[in-house]
A and B are shown apart, each in its own frame.
Chain A
Amino acid sequence: MRRELPLAICFIMGLIMTVQFFVPHHYSQWLFDNMLKWLIIVLTFAMILGIGNLVKLHLQKVQHRRRDWLYSIVALFGVTASLVTGFGWGIEADSPFMVLYNYVQIPMQATMFSLLAFYIASAAFRTFRARTVEATLLLVAAVIVMLGRVPLEGIVGRWLPDLAEWILDYPNMAAKRGIMIGIGLGAISTALKIILGIERSWLGGGD
């Protein structure tokens, strides 16, 4: 019951969803469409556990006055604000929830994202050194593509962007394809091991 049943459920579901792929009939389509929704609903229930975990950790920090406990109050305030506005007034376009989203969450997320512009520059400087043949290849390809994407045609001519495009379309694509085929095989192999119950560490411990 405790270990065999989940393994059996996993096996059966894996088999059903594999077979489903080959069956265009509408029962099969119905199952697929609904399955995706169901799985996200299951995830939503799990989020109760996730948020519960987050709240518990921060409450503990506040309670025991651990390091940075003041900021934990901020986090708790944030969760509360989202939940209260979201369930209290709904998620219509101008609701308080969406205002919170548009003016608090979005700006911070976008700013975090934009840190990449700085890091990509510092990473390129720090790591693009011609230490070995391989590193040199990487660095030369990167520089060509970078220059190829800058509007310099007037100065150096069309050949640079064309070369950049060619590198992206052929050597780069070849490497990507090789990696992807390997990934495909590795993924199928891992999924197979899970369905067959060979890989079962997800069950965790206990009996």
Chain B
Amino acid sequence: MRIASLVCAFLVLAAAPALAAAEKAGAAVVAGDVPNDAGGAIDVTWQPSPAEEEIGFKGYEVQRRVAGEPEFATVAESVVGETTFRDEDAENGVAYEYQVRVLGAEGAPTVLGTAEAKASGQWFNTARSNALAGVLFTSFVIIFFILRARGGAELFVRKIAGLEAVEEAIGRATEMGKPILFVSGLADASEISTIAAMTILAKVARKTAEYETPLIVPCYDPIVMMVEKEMVRQAYAEMGKPDAFDEDSVFFVTQSQFGYVAAVDGIMLREKPATNFYMGAFYAESLILAETGAATGAIQIAGTDRVTQLPFFITACDYTLMGEELYAATAYLGRDPLFLGSLKGQDWSKAAIILALIVGTVFLIISTDLGLWFAKLFETAAS
């Protein structure tokens, strides 16, 4: 399936020499549409003039006219040290003629050459074909295993300590008669980790409903609050305890990062929850929360995909779900075969990536050029 990405990437590589060839053909000035853009831009490149070396060289001047019109207008002047110019002000589909002039030490400018081009917008960004291949490949593998799981295939998943501890932590809070605090990150619902956190909350709420343990869910984002309130309500209803659901247990605080932290710190010291969950996206505040929680003696289970915050949760919390484990938690807690299937798909994608890393290494051993060619297949264009 990597073949698909190879093929796509090949197309990109094949296109590049074609452009280079045009430049090499010897024309003093070359103009062409900027590839992979929304249109409206033309690149003009030219061969450096020997005049560059002369004393008093003032630079190049790029002029433009709509093909067929009499007058040129200057679009760039005194270009020094570069032999390209990107005209961002071109209208799509209009043929422009570009003229590059050399401004020497004295006398009239000399014309280096002219070239013609039209700007256009593209319908497919070839620089992103590797991303397309990647998306198609992973989606295919994941959906394939989801479908297999739906067909009833048995799927094994290994243990994750942090998730094994969830039940125990809820049980402990129940015994102590203390509440459970659930923080679903400091990001809005656009973050995948927030969504993962919300689905974990839905599972945790089923357990707190079962044991009738009080649950405290302060929210950072109003949409997350709306959705979480419904999820928790649903969880209580499903466990046959709709009346045990407290409308005010899921509430909005503020979207200010440290305002939110100030409030949650206060809750920890005043309500003294026996268990703190930190799931989702966290930033610098991760350690403030985790250290305050540790000082109150709560069991703390964290999970985040913020690589920079993992060290703080790892050190200050009892259990930490690292990166992908956070997303996997829903599958574990729910034991839904479809979700387990998607985990299997992720594993196979991982295996494919490991294979790609090994292949790349072998190529690098055989020849640096071959290895570089392979590595470039994964290069991403900035915009």
Contacts and interface: CB of A to CB of B under 8 A. Distances in A.
A108 interface: yes
Given A180-B307, A186-B323, A54 B254 contact: yes
Interface of B: 36-40, 121-125, 128, 131-132, 135, 138-139, 142-143, 146, 188, 190, 192, 195-196, 198-199, 202, 219, 221-223, 225-227, 229-231, 233-234, 237-238, 248, 251-259, 261-262, 270, 284, 287-288, 290-292, 294, 305, 307, 310-312, 314-316, 322-324, 326-328, 330, 338-339, 342-343, 345-346, 349-350, 353
B167 to A, nearest CB: 19
Contacts of B135: 18, 188
Nearest to A113: B258
Given A113-B258, A123-B287, A205-B237, A53 B121 contact: no
A193 B328 CA distance: 12
Interface size classification for chain A:
35 or more
B284 A116 contact: yes
A180 B146 CA distance: 23
A61 to B, nearest CB: 10
| Interface residues of chain A: helix, strand, loop or mixed (majority) | helix
A186 B288 contact: no
Contacts of A128: 315
Contact of A123 (B36, B37, B316): B316
A1 to B, nearest CB: 17
A88 interface: no
Contacts of B294: 123, 126
Contacts of A95: none
Contacts of B225: 49-50, 53
Interface of A: 18, 21-26, 28-29, 39, 42-43, 46-47, 49-51, 53-54, 57, 60, 68, 105, 108-110, 112-113, 115-116, 119-120, 122-124, 126-128, 138, 176, 179-183, 185-194, 196, 198-199, 201-206
29 contacts: A22-B125, A22-B132, A24-B38, A24-B124, A49-B252, A50-B219, A50-B222, A50-B225, A53-B225, A53-B251, A54-B251, A57-B251, A108-B258, A112-B258, A112-B259, A119-B287, A119-B288, A123-B287, A138-B311, A138-B315, A180-B307, A180-B323, A185-B138, A192-B139, A193-B338, A199-B199, A201-B231, A204-B230, A204-B234
Given A53-B251, A116-B288, A187 B327 contact: yes
Nearest to A61: B248
Contact of B327 (A29, A49, A190): A190
Contact of B323 (A26, A50, A119, A182): A182
Given A25-B122, A119-B291, A186-B324, A43 B223 contact: yes
A190 B196 contact: yes
A46 B330 contact: no
A26 B258 contact: no
Nearest to B310: A179
A106 B314 CA distance: 30
A154 to B, nearest CB: 30
Contact of A24 (B37, B196, B221, B324): B37
A50 to B, nearest CB: 3
A198 B143 CA distance: 11
Contact of B346 (A54, A105, A122, A189): A189
A192 to B, nearest CB: 6
B196 to A, nearest CB: 6
B322 to A, nearest CB: 6
B260 to A, nearest CB: 9
A120 B248 CA distance: 33
A123 B128 CA distance: 44
A120 B123 CA distance: 50
B305 A186 contact: yes
B291 A25 contact: no
A102 B54 CA distance: 56
Nearest to A124: B315
Given A53-B225, A123-B312, A183-B323, A190 B192 contact: yes
A26 B222 contact: no
B319 to A, nearest CB: 14
Contacts of B238: 205
A70 to B, nearest CB: 14
A22 B233 contact: no
Nearest to B292: A119
Given A53-B251, A182-B323, 13 more contacts: A24-B124, A25-B121, A46-B221, A51-B222, A68-B270, A108-B262, A123-B291, A128-B315, A179-B307, A179-B324, A181-B350, A186-B192, A190-B195
